[in-house]
Amino acid sequence: MRRILVFSLVLIGLMMPLALAQQLYTHDNVEYTFEIPSATWKSILEPDAAHEHPEFVYGDRLDGLLTIRKEVVDAGTSPSEVARQDEIKLRFLPGFVQGKEESFDGRLDGITVSYEFVRSGKPMMGRTYYLKADNRTIYALRFTGLRDKLGRIRNQTDLIARTFKLK
């Protein structure tokens, strides 16, 4: 019993910095909020009159870049249809390799699509979360970065998408 108590206290002590590191992102010029899982994520572009969409980096653009776009679509358009439309543009990236589509559950449900490409001779990865807000609105959370680095922070990209919600 005492071992369980000691183990529980150690586990709580280890998890506390993770809980404290999370911050809620919100801005007057956007209609949503989400949790930022680590202090390594920094905002590099805030929405204003000239820029509608925020952008974030995970340390450096090559380690992880997040852009968020609101897609207004025809009524009944599915996240899969928006992903297929985006793929037409992505096919022109050097070394483009299509990944698979997976369903995604969070505060807003949708799908996620991964792909690979090459930039400046470096293997890159993209992962986009298409989250359906309503019958005519889909948010696209686009993460890109070096393939190995973006793969290592998948738990953080999932957390950002999972906690994404409308105000």
Give the span between the Cα atoms of 130 and 46, in whole angstroms: 21
What residue type is 90 in one-letter code? Answer: L
- 147 token code pair: 């393939």
pLDDT exceeds cutoff 70 at 2: no
HSE, CB side, 13 Å, CA atoms: give it for residue 106: 27
Q: Which helix (H) or strand (E) holds 58?
A: strand 55-58
Looking at residues 128-140, what average pLDDT do you find? 97
* Residue-level pLDDT at 21: 59
What residue type is 146 in one-letter code? Answer: L
* Residue-level pLDDT at 136: 96
Banded model confidence at residue 12, pLDDT cuts 50, 70, 90: low
In the chain, pLDDT over 90 holds for what percent of residues?
78
* Residue-level pLDDT at 159: 98
In the chain, pLDDT over 70 holds for what percent of residues?
86
| Domains of the chain, CATH where assigned | 23-166 (3.40.1000.10)
Tell me: the pLDDT tens digits for 47-104?
776 777 899 999 999 999 999 999 999 999 999 999 999 999 999 999 999 999 999 9
pTM value? Answer: 0.84
Mean pLDDT of the chain: 89
- 42 token code pair: 């920094």
Length of the chain: 167
